[in-house]
Amino acid sequence: MPDLLAPFQYDFMQRAFVAALVVGGLCSTMGTYVVLRKLSFIGDGIAHASFAGIVIAYLRNGPYYLGAGVVAVVTALAIGFTYRRGRVSMDTAIGVLFTAMFALGVFLMSQSQRYTIDLQDYLFGNILAVTGSDLLVGIVLAAIVAGAVILLYRPLLYASFDPVVAQASGIKVAFIDYVLLTLIALTIIVSLQTIGIILVAALLVTSAASAAQLTSRFAPMMLLSAGIGIACSLGGLYLSYYLHAASGATIVLLATLVFFAALALRRVARRPA
């Protein structure tokens, strides 16, 4: 028993488990909308775009979260604007803007005379390095996103399933879309320190995709997705301690295993008796 509880004796592991709980639940909940709207590419896009904000914050000696958050939200809104007003497909808008912002980050970093910058934690994540202030910022942002989802649950749901009917019913679909993009951007910012730019898209999509294999009803799908995300985040962090492996990668790999297990379970359930 003492060996099983060993990870919890360290303060940094206790903070990491709280961060995993917050990130796992938040990403998986928002991932339901991402999967429903077939926006899997957007998580990767906004996460990479936030790199420019991190570099700008570093060059200005500002907080990374603020720089990444501003750029992520601006990029998300720009994607929505380009999609609606530019009349291009959503994946095209995402591809153009995220590569441009990521390139801007690389350009600015190459112009800096200081090469002491260490952005590896933001690229690959380091949940074990989460500080008390990081945790507080993450919890506050998660609470804002969760509150917005609860407040706008019906408009978000209707606009996701049938935007034409939603518009005819008086719902401002364009506004709701911009709100959703902003909430996704904030979700990604919460997750950067935990699993990093490279892996955040996987956590945003995989748990929701697993839930979609097991139910077609939205509310149960969201709850199941949140449960899977939390379980995989906590379980992956716990396993990484004993495997001496990267925590973010372990979390994502565990979530991927759950996805294929859900896929297999659905095929078995649909097999004729």
Q: How many CA atoms lie within 13 A of 221 on its CB side?
A: 21
Domain extent listing, the chain: 6-265
Domain 6-265: give its CATH code.
1.10.3470.10
**pLDDT interval class at 161 (50, 70, 90):** confident
Residue 7 DSSP SS3? helix
The owner of tokens 């775009």 is: 49
Task: Provide the pLDDT confidence category of residue 120 given band limits of 50, 70 and 90.
Answer: low
pLDDT of residue 100: 92
Which residue from 4, 11, 2, 27 is spatially nearest to 186, judged by alpha carbons? 27
- Which tokens sit at 177? 């879309």
Radius of gyration of the chain from its Cα atoms, rounded to whole angstroms: 19
The total number of residues written for the chain in this structure: 273
- Alpha-carbon torsion (159, 165, 171, 177), positive or negative: positive
User: What is the rounded average pLDDT of the residues 168-177?
Assistant: 89
Reported as a single tens digit per residue, the pLDDT across 57-94 is 888 888 888 888 899 999 999 998 998 887 788 888 88
Q: According to the model, what pLDDT value does residue 121 have? A: 64
Residues 6+ apart with CB under 8 A from 225: 28, 29, 31, 32, 207, 208, 210, 211
pLDDT, position 2: 62
The DSSP letter of residue 33 is H
Average pLDDT, the chain: 86
pTM, to two decimals: 0.88
> Within the chain, where are the H helices?
11-36, 40-59, 64-85, 90-111, 120-124, 132-151, 153-161, 163-168, 173-214, 218-243, 247-270
What local confidence, expressed as pLDDT, does residue 254 receive?
A: 94
